[in-house]
Structure 1
Amino acid sequence: MSVDLRTTVGAFALVFLAVVGVAAVGGVVLDDAPPETDAVADDHWQLDAVEPETVSEGGEVEMESSEPSNTVVVHLGSGGAGLGGGTSILPIEDGDSPADADIGSVGGVRRGVAPLTAALVENGHEVRFYGGIASREPLPSMLSDADAFVTTSPGALSATDADAVETFVEAGGRTLVASDPGGAGALTDFGSPFGVYGEAGYVYDMENNDANYLSVLVEPTGPGALTEGVEQVVFRGAAPVGTADGPATLATAETSRLSTTREAGAYGVAVRSDSLTVVGDSSFLEPENAGRADNGVLIGNVADFLVTGETPDVSFGPATGPGGAVPPGGATPPPEPPEPSGNATA
């Protein structure tokens, strides 16, 4: 083999070995580096992008009125009071410290109005519960000594009790009726003498709500004593109500819809007719909802409404028992026995 050929082969071998060595070293270096990947969009992992919008927490329930002691009768349906109901479980205590309000057991019916009753008691007023036929004292008798009346179940009132409440309202007794969806018929029967009526169905809102389309946001339609300081409240189950005398006091947004028609629009959910206030929801009175938005302000205004005004001058005649029956030993005397005839013998 010539010198030139050996030189050429040797040079080729050196170049080949150099290329293989560089490739091997480069592979090791490349293996140590992390692989490059495309950026992944992670907006859907952000909590503020997936959590539903909710309203802010409001303040405590406070009353502005300085009225002297008033008596408020509260009716919560058949479960509103146990046997022997109709007596005050929220007594007014003497001294500087406010009275303690009994809000009932967890899940109890009385707990559903605890923020309202506690505010009344803390401001020196008396709260008495009426439990329908289970009460020792009939409702007309209780209303004759009362300044205000509250019911969250107007459909549970007997015909006699409903007539008594109507007389009480006509005499100027401040009355709050909280009627939930499903009670339109009973509300209309009760409120028709005062131009107040209820509508079938419930209101929902897919846009303006508190994390749930049934928890609609409600705003005042104008200034008034019931809505003073109120910008927005939350109703967990709103029934539409109205009055023939004027606009509603509280109404939903234009984006809300009525379940029976699916029509969008602003629906009235609270009205006032003189001494009668009707709200198409009772959930705003519950402890877990009293702190949402301005619910606490609304409850305080309702409490002021109940104890502000003239004392009603109302009389219901002879005392009667639940359902209109005359109780044993009641005010109606028994009939006298007939006189014996002239032909009778001793």
Structure 2
Amino acid sequence: MSQRNLLGGTVVFAVALGLILVGAAVAPYAFQLGGSAPADTENAAKQAFDADELVATPGPESGDVTMDSNAEPKTVLIDVGHENDVSESDMQPLVDALVANGHQVKYLTREDAQRDFNGSLRGADAFVVVNPEQPYTGDQLAGLRSFEDAGGRVALLGDPQSAGTTSVLGLITVSVSSGTTGGDAGLTSDYGVSFGSSSLYNMHDYYLNYENVYATPEGETALTEGVDEVVFRDAAPLSVSADSVSPALVSGGETRVESIRKTGPYTVAAQSETVVAIGDADFLAPESAYEADNEVLVGNLADFLVSGDKEAGAPASATPESGGEPGSAPGQGTAPTPA
């Protein structure tokens, strides 16, 4: 290429660059003299720089799960025998805290549940149910009620997106949000707690994304001692209808239910003397257990599970004459008479 052509190309490039720089410098003054910024530019700027929009402030992710209880060694039985949508690793912070404080953790397998459900409960002081997807039999439900009546501690944790949670837990203590009940309605009325089937979300105050809602203590319960604020990643609302059950954790006032978009504070955890119900299970997982005050909540749950005083020998074994099958809870017949 000739030197003349090279110089010509350089001049053209320099002129173009100069026009670009002049345009960039003049544009702000043009807007000030009566022009207006494009709507998309204004919206982007507002989203990027409006401090009122920056509400997703992560809480601290540190701490240890500790227990305050000095209870004698107890046995906590965790149900994994009803196709529960939870893995053992999902509950590791809770399990580690219990074991570190001298308590024993066992898992109810499917074989155990089918062979001798009552026998498994009889050897435990607390029973933890998380997201079951296989229904409990009527005999198993009767055995669980006898276990709780004898002072055994029961923790029920359910995620709203688990279809099995609303239907199976409905057999134990709850009804789905539509008002229908499953199984024995007497068990529902006994505890007076119902789980909603839709997720909560909050577009105004949340942790990392709007589906991670904050919850704060409501009243004074052992479950929330030392808790200022917790994070639930997929929470279901609870309804409390019995005087014996107290709301324990409530979401913020701008929280909505996904299915109906209704705004309000919602109960997400409740407690009675022997039963805890929590509309979330993810807070137990290692990746969530140390967000905000979640580790305090996990420790309080561990304390609750071992602070009961269950009567020995409950629930009693059933016999064919009692209306149930061997190894199951008593049915509608007469309870067996001790020899």
Q: TM-score, normalised by structure 1?
A: 0.68
Q: Which amino acid aligns with 2:121?
A: L
Matched residue of 1:296: which SS?
helix
Tell me, yes or no, if structure 1 residue 69 matches structure 2 residue 73.
yes
For 1:204 and 1:126, the matched residues in 2 are separated by 36
Which residue of the partner structure matches residue 171 of structure 1?
150
Taking only the aligned residue pairs, the percentage that are identical comes to: 32
For 2:195 and 2:291, the matched residues in 1 are separated by 25
Change (3 A) 1:108 1:224: closer
Kept after mapping to 1: 8 A contact 2:158/2:278? yes
1:201 shift after superposition: 1.5
Which residue of the partner structure matches residue 261 of structure 2?
262
Change (3 A) 1:155 1:194: farther
Q: Which runs of 5+ in 1 are unaligned?
A: 1-30, 81-106, 328-346
Q: Which amino acid aligns with 2:94?
A: L
Kept after mapping to 2: 8 A contact 1:169/1:175? yes
Tell me, yes or no, if structure 1 residue 209 matches structure 2 residue 191.
no
Which residue of the partner structure matches residue 308 of structure 1?
307
1:45 shift after superposition: 7.4
Change (3 A) 1:186 1:108: closer
Deviations 1:113-143 (A, max 9, x none): 1110110001000000012246685221111
Change (3 A) 1:38 1:256: same
Kept after mapping to 1: 8 A contact 2:61/2:292? yes
1:154 shift after superposition: 4.3
The 5 A counterparts of 1:117-156 are 117-133=95-111, 138-156=116-134
- Picking from 200, 215, 219, the partner of 1:218 is 215
For 1:276 and 1:207, the matched residues in 2 are separated by 32
Change (3 A) 1:51 1:259: closer
Which residue of the partner structure matches residue 286 of structure 2?
287
1:258 shift after superposition: 1.0
For 2:54 and 2:204, the matched residues in 1 are separated by 15
Change (3 A) 1:71 1:157: farther
- Picking from 36, 40, 56, the partner of 2:60 is 56
Matched residue of 1:74: which SS?
strand
Which residue of the partner structure matches residue 19 of structure 1?
none
Deviations 1:160-208 (A, max 9, x none): 3222212111111011000111433433331112222222322111112
Kept after mapping to 2: 8 A contact 1:75/1:153? no
Q: TM-score, normalised by structure 2?
A: 0.70
Kept after mapping to 1: 8 A contact 2:318/2:325? no
- Picking from 180, 193, 197, the partner of 2:194 is 197
Kept after mapping to 1: 8 A contact 2:253/2:265? yes
Deviations 1:50-73 (A, max 9, x none): 894322224110001111110010
CA-based RMSD of the aligned residues comes to: 3.1
Deviations 1:82-109 (A, max 9, x none): xxxxxxxxxxxxxxxxxxxxxxxxx971
Deviations 1:12-49 (A, max 9, x none): xxxxxxxxxxxxxxxxxxx9xx9793698997878x99
Which residue of the partner structure matches residue 236 of structure 1?
233
Which residue of the partner structure matches residue 278 of structure 1?
277
1:157 shift after superposition: 4.5
Deviations 1:300-320 (A, max 9, x none): 000000001212341322489
Change (3 A) 1:214 1:111: same
Which residue of the partner structure matches residue 336 of structure 2?
none
For 1:205 and 1:319, the matched residues in 2 are separated by 52
Matched residue of 2:76: which SS?
strand
Change (3 A) 1:306 1:238: same
For 1:214 and 1:126, the matched residues in 2 are separated by 35
More helix by share: 2
Matched residue of 1:216: which SS?
strand
Kept after mapping to 2: 8 A contact 1:75/1:131? yes
Change (3 A) 1:208 1:315: same
For 1:50 and 1:264, the matched residues in 2 are separated by 21
For 1:297 and 1:144, the matched residues in 2 are separated by 29
Change (3 A) 1:51 1:307: closer
For 1:196 and 1:108, the matched residues in 2 are separated by 22
Higher radius of gyration, 1 or 2: 1
Kept after mapping to 2: 8 A contact 1:185/1:198? no
For 1:287 and 1:177, the matched residues in 2 are separated by 19
Which residue of the partner structure matches residue 186 of structure 1?
168
For 2:83 and 2:89, the matched residues in 1 are separated by 12
Moved segments of 4+, more than 6 Å: 38-46, 48-51
Tell me, yes or no, if structure 1 residue 162 matches structure 2 residue 141.
yes
